[in-house]
Amino acid sequence: MEPVIHQVWWRVTQRLRRTSLLPRRSHSGCAEHISVPASTRSRHIRPTPLVSRIYQPSHLRDVGQDSRVQGEMTCKSQRLMQQAGLIHSSNPGCYYYLPATVRSMEKLVRVIDQEMQGIGGQKLDMPSLCSADLWKVSERWELMGKELFRLKDRHGIDYCLGPTHEEAVTTLVAHQTTLSYRQLPLLLYQITRKFRDEPKPKFGLLRGREFYMKDMYSFDVSEEEAYKTYESVCQAYTRLFTRLGLRCVQVQADTGNIGGKLSHEFQLPADIGEDQLLVCGNCSFSANVETMSSDRTDCPQCKTGTLVESKGIEVGHTFYLGKKYSRAFKAVFTNAQNNPSIAEMGCYGLGVTRILAAAIEVMSTEEGIRWPGLLAPYQVCVLPPKKGSKMDKAAALAEDLVHTLEKALPQLRGEVVLDDRTQMTIGKRLKDASILGYPYVIVVGQGALEETPRFEVTCQEIGEKMFLSKDGLIDLLRKVETV
Amino acid sequence: MEPVIHQVWWRVTQRLRRTSLLPRRSHSGCAEHISVPASTRSRHIRPTPLVSRIYQPSHLRDVGQDSRVQGEMTCKSQRLMQQAGLIHSSNPGCYYYLPATVRSMEKLVRVIDQEMQGIGGQKLDMPSLCSADLWKVSERWELMGKELFRLKDRHGIDYCLGPTHEEAVTTLVAHQTTLSYRQLPLLLYQITRKFRDEPKPKFGLLRGREFYMKDMYSFDVSEEEAYKTYESVCQAYTRLFTRLGLRCVQVQADTGNIGGKLSHEFQLPADIGEDQLLVCGNCSFSANVETMSSDRTDCPQCKTGTLVESKGIEVGHTFYLGKKYSRAFKAVFTNAQNNPSIAEMGCYGLGVTRILAAAIEVMSTEEGIRWPGLLAPYQVCVLPPKKGSKMDKAAALAEDLVHTLEKALPQLRGEVVLDDRTQMTIGKRLKDASILGYPYVIVVGQGALEETPRFEVTCQEIGEKMFLSKDGLIDLLRKVETV
């Protein structure tokens, strides 16, 4: 930029600052590379979320195009999530994620990040638009058939919307001319929107056409090292599900169109699960029926146990790929002998939106959502008394309580909502709170006005009700883990 | 699930736990809805990032399909970002965001979240697949021409990949049959990947075909209230750019195919900017030339100033839409008189990936990247001496220093990297650190071995070098703001 223009810009900015167009600021404005003083951080502490203002519309009509959606099979998690204003159907297999769902998803992403980075995973982000050329190299352009969403750009060039990114990531790694064995294992992952043109989308977020997936890809120097990496990812998955309080089973699985030599699924037992599993009552063996001859009832591992059929929701999948993709795309590293060598690969998926819905599916009651504690959109809901009731004076105490909790328990900042819909009875609001599944619901009523104020707390997970002092509440909530 | 199967699952899980398939755990395993004790949190404190392990490949070849990309116009930010291993081109206008870029992007998203939620914005997430039916209602299916990526699903139904979501969000709000004036203003936003089939993608992340955008939509009870919301969003944008240290100017703009009555752009002055602006040297007036007759040189506001032409990169755009979309999609609320009333709308965009690239474009030198402080992928780089040099003993002190800094300054956890490539000279590593633009670079050399250890610190933003004790370093770095 020429100096004179630069000066003009500067003057203009200063003038704008003096007019109403740009707000006046106490700190130093647009000066070069300034950083805002730490004290202004307090500005970003959000005001208490009020239930009356949270956008969780519970009376959405299905109109127009949505008639198509109505033909889809539904299930408990989908019904509850729609009822509670967490999701809304758009096109078949495509959903709006409403604000509470986004909060929960962001928490799940943080837990996944922690576990993936804990084993050395590095997060990147690859384009959704994948060129047909790449997919032809792996032969999946044909193989995937109608499941691929395909399109042409304005120049007539073919693309697909990536349902998974083996081709893309292997190409990336192949482009590095200087990859050394010292840099391996290399674990690259992303948490992005994926696309799959399902013949029959159903069960809400459980089988959609557009969904979030965590996909990780590993590159190793040898088969032996690759198996170690594979095992380390499986362990991270198990840790993740344990932290979420989900009882997940790792089963032997088919490698499908991904290809490769070894594969496991992480299955969450559920009646509506679409996978048929065979589990041995006697030993550790468990497998997807796809991997077995269908009439087999004896366990191939212990030979004595009987295989029992069960249903599961697949929430994770791991594949040991070997050199299938690395050979095709020439993903080569320099080995310890200074020779070029083809990397051994693995790939590992987690259905992010699916984990959320599956958790709701297995944890909820028929009447209300129950969340993995870490993933609840908000941890605590405080209910002031009904307006005009004889406990009306306690209303101010409810607001005080929110501030006290957030001050005493920093991990609960932004996690405490106030149900300010005081035109409604406590009973009606308690029912809503039960549907939404806040882990802790605190009623500020008559007891709060006593000399030693006491509050009624419901732990929704276990359905237990207690009366606690303010200090007792703080002690109870101190153990709430957030992410 | 039937009880017997449930029991089998449970037994299987327990058995798996005893075998190598699932790791043994000290805490209570897969028990119902357990929460991991807070003490295990420390497990998620990531190990110190080592430069030798960070995936920022700096020697990526452009092969195959990338020959197409080579025809694109390039610019400083693109060149530097490719050189430093921050991005890699995939298809025209599509990029891999490599790990350091993802870190920076996540920080930018957090700042945007703070500012949007600070004015009451609620975050949601809408599908990328948008049905043609919706876009025909707004007439943009025709209007957008070749800029829309279009596709058909397996049933032959037409979709586009959303470049923006006025149709989708207005439909969502219209589906709520019970929207009350008490719930307005309603500000809904998302930060998601958008698609636009640019005729000429160029300048790396500045004009891509797949990119991240923050798009917010407001719904108000009246024109007057809608203007207040509009102003509040403009102020939030200005705060955001100020926090990033970016000198942004708000200019009067054309409403384009979005439609509506009033529009402003937030422009960052830069030589490679694609927008031609006219700014008055005398008053606050500034406008995109698109809004003016091209030969005009006198200022329409003060009548006395002369308009000077300048170039800018558009990083934000605001539109007051009125009832254009809310009428078409019937987004109706119940007003204070209990009558149905059509909402007044606004929409507000921020180019998320573009802000990142534009900031690098205007802040960097020709030789090295300089970041908005808040957005630097890592804040501090610590350099131990070269292996085998006479300062070799200081190597352990460098690792100590990283731990000391992270312990004394919690906001720097995960923000301090160790350049462990000790086979390289300090000089060579300093050069790399300058290209990558860590705000603070600390050399642990001869001075660290003195009786009162001293460290050489370079503040890369201002290019100043200092020698400080450990306490001095902590004092210096205490003021670093992170997000």
Flag if A131 and B91 touch (Cβ within 8 Å). yes
* Highest-confidence segment of A5-19, A288-302, B25-39: A288-302
Residues 6+ apart with CB under 8 A from B111: B240, B243, B244, B374, B375, B483
Half-sphere exposure of A69 (CA within 13 A, CB side): 23
Confidence of residue A20 (pLDDT cuts 50, 70, 90): very low
Instruction: Please give, rounded to a whole number of angstroms, the shortest distance from the CA of A456 to a CA of chain B.
Output: 23
B358, B270 in Cβ contact below 8 A?
A: yes
Taking the CA of residue B400 and the nearest CA in chain A, the distance in Å comes to: 21
- The whole-angstrom distance between B473's CA and the closest CA on chain A is 18
- Min mean pLDDT across A99-108, A151-160, B55-64, B95-104 is at B55-64
A196 contacts on B by Cβ (under 8 Å) = none
Q: Does A91 contact B131 at a Cβ distance shorter than 8 Å?
A: yes
B141 burial level (CB within 10 Å; 0-12, 13-18, 19+): buried
The answer to whether B125 contacts A101, with C-beta atoms less than 8 Å apart, is: yes
Q: If we measure between CA atoms, which residue out of A170, A191, A115, A139 comes closest to residue A354?
A: A191
DSSP-assigned letter for residue B42: G
Interface of B with A in 200-259 (CB under 8 A): 209-210, 234-235, 238-239, 241-243, 245-250
| Residue A293 token pair | 């001859």
Average pLDDT for A108-123: 97
* Least confidently predicted of B40-54, B63-77, B323-337: B63-77
Token representation of residue B381: 């780089």
* Chain B residues 388-407 with CB within 8 Å of chain A: none
Average pLDDT over residues B289-297: 78
Residues composing chain A: 483
> What's the whole-number mean pLDDT along residues B83-89?
95
Please give the Cα distance from B236 to B215 (Å, whole number): 14
Which residue in chain B is spatially nearest to A187 when comparing CA positions? B55
pLDDT, position B59: 65
Identify the band that residue A318 occupies on the pLDDT scale cut at 50, 70 and 90.
Answer: very high
| A61 with B122: Cβ contact below 8 A | no
pLDDT of residue B8: 42
Interface of B with A in 150-209 (CB under 8 A): 150-151, 153-154, 159, 161, 168, 171-172, 175-179, 182-183, 186, 188, 192-193, 195, 197, 199, 209
- Give the pLDDT band (50/70/90) at residue A440: very high
A9 touches B: beta carbon within 8 Å? yes
Determine the average pLDDT of the residues in A224-251. Answer: 96
Question: What is the SS3 assignment for A474?
Answer: helix
| Residue B139, CB-side half-sphere exposure with 13 Å CA sphere | 6
In chain A, residues with a C-beta closer than 8 Å to the C-beta of B242 are 25, 27, 29-30, 34, 36
Q: Closest CB to B193: pick one of A193, A246, A250.
A: A193
pLDDT at B37: 36
Q: Which residue of B has its CA nearest to A2?
A: B271
Nearest-Cα distance to chain B for A53, in Å, is 6
Name the residue in chain B with its Cα closest to that of A97: B125
Report d(CA B206, CA B224) in Å as an integer.
Answer: 35
Minimal Cβ distance to B363: which of A30, A33, A311: A33
Q: What six digits make up the tokens of B354?
A: 């573009």
Which range has the worst mean pLDDT, A13-27, A353-367, B23-37? B23-37
- Minimum Cα–Cα distance from B272: chain A residue: A1
- With contacts defined as CB-CB under 8 Å, which chain B residues touch A242? 25, 27, 29-30, 34, 36
Integer CA distances (angstroms), A21 to A321, B248, B249, B252, B253, in order: 57, 12, 10, 11, 14
The ipTM assigned to this model is 0.89
Q: Is pLDDT at B29 greater than 60 in this prediction?
A: no
Query: A4-13, A110-119, B47-56, B120-129 — which is least confidently predicted?
Result: A4-13
Which of A19, A2, A3 lies closest to B286 in space, CA to CA? A19
- Distance of alpha carbon B22 from alpha carbon A340, whole angstroms: 35
Residue % of chain B over a pLDDT of 70: 87
Residue B64 has pLDDT above 90, yes or no: no
Using CB atoms, which residue from B33, B46, B246 is nearest to A461? B33
The pair phi, psi for residue A447, each rounded to 5°, is: -60, -30
Residues A333 and A225: beta-carbon distance below 8 Å: no
As a whole number of angstroms, the distance between CA B89 and CA B188 comes to: 32
Number of DSSP helices (H) and strands (E) in chain A, helices first: 13, 21
Mutate one of B2, B22, B200 to test the A interface: name it (highest A CB count within 10 A): B22
Q: What is the pLDDT of residue B130?
A: 98
Residue ranges of B 279-298 with Cβ closer than 8 A to chain A: 279-281, 283-284, 286
| Contact call for B52 and A479, based on CB within 8 A | no
pLDDT band of residue B445 (cuts 50, 70, 90) is: very high
Nearest by Cα to A446 from A426, A416, A460:
A426
Cα separation, A395 vs B247, whole angstroms:
45
Find the helix or strand (DSSP H, E) in which B346 lies: strand B344-351
Quick check: B3 pLDDT over 60? Answer: no
Mean pLDDT of A107-135: 97
pLDDT value of position B39: 37
How high is the mean pLDDT of chain A?
88
Q: Are strands B344-351 and B210-220 parallel, antiparallel or unpaired?
A: antiparallel
> d(Cα A4, Cα A8) in Å, to the nearest integer?
6
Whether residue B32 lies within 8 A of chain A, CB to CB, comes out as yes
User: For residue A52, is pLDDT > 60?
Assistant: yes
Give the pLDDT score at B283: 83
The answer to whether residue A114 neighbours chain B at the CB level (below 8 Å) is yes
Which of residues 54 through 83 in chain A touch B, CB cutoff 8 A? 54-55, 57, 59-65
Higher pLDDT, B61 or A70: B61
Of the candidates B11, B43, B176, which has its C-beta nearest A57's C-beta?
B176
B90/A10 CB distance under 8 A: no
Q: How many CA atoms lie within 13 A of A235 on its CB side?
A: 13
Residue A45: band (very low, low, confident or very high) from pLDDT cuts 50, 70, 90: low
In 3D, which of B127, B88, B80 has the Cα closest to residue A126?
A: B88
Contact B149 A151 (CB under 8 A): yes
Domains along chain B? 68-363 (3.30.930.10), 378-478 (3.40.50.800)
Specify whether the CB–CB gap between B225 and B186 falls below 8 A.
no
Residues 139 to 158 of A: which have CB under 8 A from any B CB? 146, 149-151, 153-154
Q: Is B323 on the interface with A (CB under 8 A)?
A: no
Here the tokens at position A361 are 């599916």
B250 vs A22, A120, A123: nearest CB: A22
Contact B16 A249 (CB under 8 A): yes
Would you state the torsion angle of the CA atoms of residues B146, B147, B153, B156, taken in this order, to the nearest 10 degrees?
A: -30
Asked if pLDDT for residue A2 goes beyond 70, the answer is no
